[in-house]
A = this chain, B = another copy of it.
Amino acid sequence: MDDFEIEQTDEVPLEEPVLIEGLPGVGHVGKLAAEHLLEELDSQLIRRVYSQHFPPQVSVDEGITQLACAEIHAVTVEDADMLVLTGDHQAQDTVGHYGLADVFLDVAEELGTKQVYALGGVPTGELIEEYDVIGAASTESIREELESFGVAFRGDEPAGGIVGISGLLLGLGGRRGIPAACLMGETSGYLVDPKSAQAVLEILQEVVGFEVDFGSLEDRAEEMEEVVRKIQEMEQGTPTPSDEDLRYIG
């Protein structure tokens, strides 16, 4: 096997698609968001990307193995064609990160991608009431466009920059001249955060032009809140009332 291998599993005609990336990261925000798109919208798996820089591992589903990979699905909705990039792994080393980002951009360019949206979370260190979505962009014109959709751009955020595939899609995409942006939902950083994923998707559907139902994400968010409440009870020794009125309405 080569360092990186692209497996074509299907062919789908696409018109200037946008690439939407959601690999594992802070709060699993990007991954939750990308997987929610694939659950709610019709999609076709068109590429698998294998790499010697992924963990040396197969996943097992009902006894059948699948070599570690990233998957690119094609999604066609009324206003937009989308490539949705998901998977269970980031690269295991620095050189692998750069190489994978380049391979993803190669596929994106080959399929005529006009814009990249990397999805992720930005850790705040505390529980979130209002889920702002922070942006970063490879060019000023993208920033201006995203600001008009309510994305927050703050002078020094995120403080540590953007690490991993999301960061490199902007950094290397920008160098290739592919417009690229990162949409980061605020999240505590301690838990898988479906609400943050929903906040990101609510912006994304405005920007790209599609609509999805958030029922299943809201259900997962309630499950997570139940988990948080139980942890707080254990810490405090007394039960906290499950305040339905304060429940998040997406």
Q: Complex: how many Å from CA A162 to CA B58?
A: 5
Which of B53, B59, B96 interacts with A161 by CB under 8 Å?
Answer: B59
- Expressed in whole angstroms, the minimum distance between the Cβ of A160 and any Cβ of chain B is 8
Q: Is A27 positioned at the interface, with any CB of B under 8 Å from its CB? A: no
Residue of B nearest to A147 (CB): B63
Stretch of A39-47, A135-143, A222-230, A236-244 on the interface side: A135-143
Assess whether A171 is in contact with B68, with CB atoms less than 8 Å apart.
yes
Binary B-proximity of A146-159 (CB < 8 A = 1, otherwise 0): 00000001111110
Assess whether B163 is in contact with A94, with CB atoms less than 8 Å apart.
no
Q: Is A14 positioned at the interface, with any CB of B under 8 Å from its CB? A: no
What is the interface size of chain A, counting residues whose CB is below 8 A from a CB of the partner?
A: 58
Q: Complex: how many Å from CA A64 to CA B137?
A: 5
Q: Complex: how many Å from CA A62 to CA B158?
A: 10
What are 20 inter-chain pairs, A to B, with CB distance below 8 A? A56-B91, A56-B98, A56-B164, A56-B165, A57-B163, A57-B164, A58-B161, A58-B168, A58-B171, A59-B161, A60-B157, A61-B156, A62-B153, A62-B155, A64-B143, A65-B171, A65-B180, A67-B168, A67-B170, A94-B96
